Structure 1
Amino acid sequence: MSELTEELNKRLTFAIISHPDAGKTTITEKLLLFGGAIHMAGAVKSKRNSTKTTSDFMKMEQERGISISTSVMGFDYKGREVRLLDTPGHADFSEDTYRTLTAVDSALMVIDSVKGVEERTKTLCEITAMRATPVITYINKMDREGREPIELLDEIEEELKIKACPLSWPIGQGQQFKGVYSIYENRIILFNPRETLDTSSEVVEITDINDSALDDAIGETLAKRLREELELVCGVYPEFDKDEYLKAKITPVFFGSAINNFGVRELIDSMVDIAPEPLPRATESRIVSPDEDKFTGLIFKIHANLNPRHRDRIAFMRINSGIFERNKAYTHVRSGKTYKAANPTAFMAQDREIIDKAFPGDIIGLHDTGTFKIGDVITEGEKLQFTGIPNFAPSIFRIAQNKDPLKSKQFDQGLQHLTEEGVAQVFYKVSTKERIIGVVGPLQLEVIQYRLDNEYKAKCNFIPVEYIGACWVSSSNKEQLNKFEKFFYSHLAKDKTDKLVYMYSNKWVFERTKEEYPELTFATTSD
Structure 2
Amino acid sequence: MRSFPNTRIRNLGILAHVDAGKTTVTERILFLTGAVHKKGEVHDGTTVTDFDPQERERGITISSAAVSCFWDRHRIDLIDTPGHVDFSDEVERALRVLDGAVAVFDAVAGVEPQSETVWRQADRHGVPRIAFVNKMDRAGADLEAAVASLRDRLGVVPLPVQLPIGREDGFRGVVDLVGTRAYVWDGDGLAETEVPVGLRREAAARRRALEEAVAELHPGALEEFCATDALTDGTLAGALRELTLSGAAVVVLCGSAYRNRGVEPLLDAVVSYLPSPLDRPPVGGGRVPADPAAPLVALAFKVSATPTGRMTYVRVYAGTITKGDAVLDTATGRAERVSRVLRVQADRTEELSSAVAGEIVAVIGPKAVRAGATLCDPAAPVVLEPPVTAAPVVSVAVEARRGTDVDRLATGLVRLAEEDPSLVVRRDPETGQTVLSGLGELHLEVAVERLRRDRGLEVAVGRPQVAYRETVVKGVAGVLYRHVKQDGGSGQFAHVVVDVEPYDGEDGFAFASAVTGGRVPAEYVRAVEAGCRDALVDGPLGGHPVTGVRVTLTDGATHPKDSSEMAFRTAGRFALREALRASAMTVLEPVAEVTVTVPAESVGTVLGDLASRRGRVTDSEVRGGTSVVTATVPLAELFGYATRLRGRTQGRGTFTTRPAGYEPLKG
TM-score normalised over the length of structure 2 = 0.65
Task: Specify the alignment match of 1:137 in structure 2.
Answer: 131
Aligned-pair CA distance for 1:338: 2.4
User: What SS does the corresponding residue of 1:345 show, helix, strand or coil?
Assistant: strand
Structure of greater relative contact order (alpha carbons < 8 Å, 6+ residues apart): 1
CA distance in 2, matches of 1:112, 1:413: 42
CA distance in 1, matches of 2:541, 2:588: 18
Aligned-pair CA distance for 1:183: 1.4
Task: Specify the alignment match of 1:165 in structure 2.
Answer: 159
Task: Specify the alignment match of 1:328 in structure 2.
Answer: 325
Aligned-pair CA distance for 1:397: 1.5
Contact (CA 8 Å) 2:468, 2:545: kept in 1 or not? no
Q: Which runs of 5+ in 1 are unaligned?
A: 45-49, 207-213, 495-499, 513-523
Correspondence 1:224-243 to 2 at 5 A? 224-232=201-209, 234-235=211-212, 240-243=239-242
Task: Specify the alignment match of 2:416 in structure 1.
Answer: 418
CA distance in 2, matches of 1:343, 1:383: 22
Percent same amino acid at aligned positions?
Answer: 24
Contact (CA 8 Å) 1:100, 1:300: kept in 2 or not? yes
2:311 counterpart of 1:275: no
The structure-2 alpha-carbon separation of the partners of 1:331 and 1:391, relative to structure 1 and needing over 3 Å to count, comes to: same
Match of 1:58 among 44, 52, 73: 52
2:165 counterpart of 1:185: no
Contact (CA 8 Å) 2:337, 2:366: kept in 1 or not? no
Aligned-pair CA distance for 1:311: 6.4
CA displacement, residues 384-431 of structure 1 (integer Å, 9 cap, x when unaligned):
221150111121122222222211222111111111111642254695
Task: Specify the alignment match of 1:393 in structure 2.
Answer: 391
CA distance in 1, matches of 2:154, 2:258: 25
The structure-2 alpha-carbon separation of the partners of 1:384 and 1:413, relative to structure 1 and needing over 3 Å to count, comes to: same
Correspondence 1:318-397 to 2 at 5 A? 318-367=315-364, 370-381=367-378, 382-397=380-395
The structure-2 alpha-carbon separation of the partners of 1:508 and 1:178, relative to structure 1 and needing over 3 Å to count, comes to: farther
Greater shift, 382-391 or 353-362, is seen at 382-391
Task: Specify the alignment match of 1:491 in structure 2.
Answer: 543
CA distance in 2, matches of 1:354, 1:71: 17
Contact (CA 8 Å) 1:22, 1:140: kept in 2 or not? yes
Q: Which letter maps to 2:274? A: A
Contact (CA 8 Å) 1:333, 1:384: kept in 2 or not? yes
The structure-2 alpha-carbon separation of the partners of 1:483 and 1:315, relative to structure 1 and needing over 3 Å to count, comes to: closer
Q: Which letter maps to 2:304? A: H
Q: Which letter maps to 1:144? A: R
Contact (CA 8 Å) 2:89, 2:422: kept in 1 or not? no
2:586 counterpart of 1:509: yes
Aligned positions, number = 475
The structure-2 alpha-carbon separation of the partners of 1:176 and 1:411, relative to structure 1 and needing over 3 Å to count, comes to: same
Contact (CA 8 Å) 1:15, 1:106: kept in 2 or not? yes
CA displacement, residues 299-345 of structure 1 (integer Å, 9 cap, x when unaligned):
1011223xxxx263311111111111111222222233322212221
CA distance in 2, matches of 1:487, 1:269: 55
Contact (CA 8 Å) 1:343, 1:366: kept in 2 or not? yes
Contact (CA 8 Å) 1:297, 1:319: kept in 2 or not? yes
The structure-2 alpha-carbon separation of the partners of 1:434 and 1:373, relative to structure 1 and needing over 3 Å to count, comes to: farther
CA distance in 2, matches of 1:408, 1:431: 18
Contact (CA 8 Å) 1:162, 1:250: kept in 2 or not? yes
CA distance in 2, matches of 1:347, 1:23: 23
Greater shift, 28-37 or 326-335, is seen at 326-335
CA distance in 1, matches of 2:261, 2:249: 24
2:151 counterpart of 1:153: no
CA distance in 1, matches of 2:351, 2:136: 40
Task: Specify the alignment match of 1:519 in structure 2.
Answer: none
2:246 counterpart of 1:247: yes
Task: Specify the alignment match of 1:294 in structure 2.
Answer: 295
Task: Specify the alignment match of 1:103 in structure 2.
Answer: 97
Contact (CA 8 Å) 1:430, 1:492: kept in 2 or not? no
Aligned-pair CA distance for 1:75: 1.5
Greater shift, 117-126 or 154-163, is seen at 154-163
CA displacement, residues 356-382 of structure 1 (integer Å, 9 cap, x when unaligned):
110223221122574111111111123
Aligned-pair CA distance for 1:181: 0.6
Contact (CA 8 Å) 1:429, 1:491: kept in 2 or not? no
2:193 counterpart of 1:204: yes
CA distance in 1, matches of 2:538, 2:412: 34
Contact (CA 8 Å) 1:164, 1:237: kept in 2 or not? no
CA distance in 2, matches of 1:335, 1:230: 55
TM-score normalised over the length of structure 1 = 0.82
Correspondence 1:6-85 to 2 at 5 A? 7-42=5-40, 52-85=46-79
Task: Specify the alignment match of 1:437 in structure 2.
Answer: 436
Match of 1:475 among 502, 506, 511: 511
Contact (CA 8 Å) 2:312, 2:366: kept in 1 or not? no
Q: Which letter maps to 1:399? A: A
User: What SS does the corresponding residue of 2:258 show, helix, strand or coil?
Assistant: helix
Aligned-pair CA distance for 1:161: 1.7
Contact (CA 8 Å) 1:69, 1:93: kept in 2 or not? yes
The structure-2 alpha-carbon separation of the partners of 1:147 and 1:467, relative to structure 1 and needing over 3 Å to count, comes to: closer
CA distance in 1, matches of 2:97, 2:112: 24
Greater shift, 65-74 or 175-184, is seen at 175-184
User: What SS does the corresponding residue of 2:586 show, helix, strand or coil?
Assistant: helix
Aligned-pair CA distance for 1:42: 1.3
Larger Rg: 2
Aligned-pair CA distance for 1:231: 4.8
The structure-2 alpha-carbon separation of the partners of 1:67 and 1:442, relative to structure 1 and needing over 3 Å to count, comes to: same
Q: Which runs of 5+ in 2 are unaligned?
A: 216-235, 470-506, 514-527, 547-572, 578-583, 590-660, 663-667
RMSD: 3.2
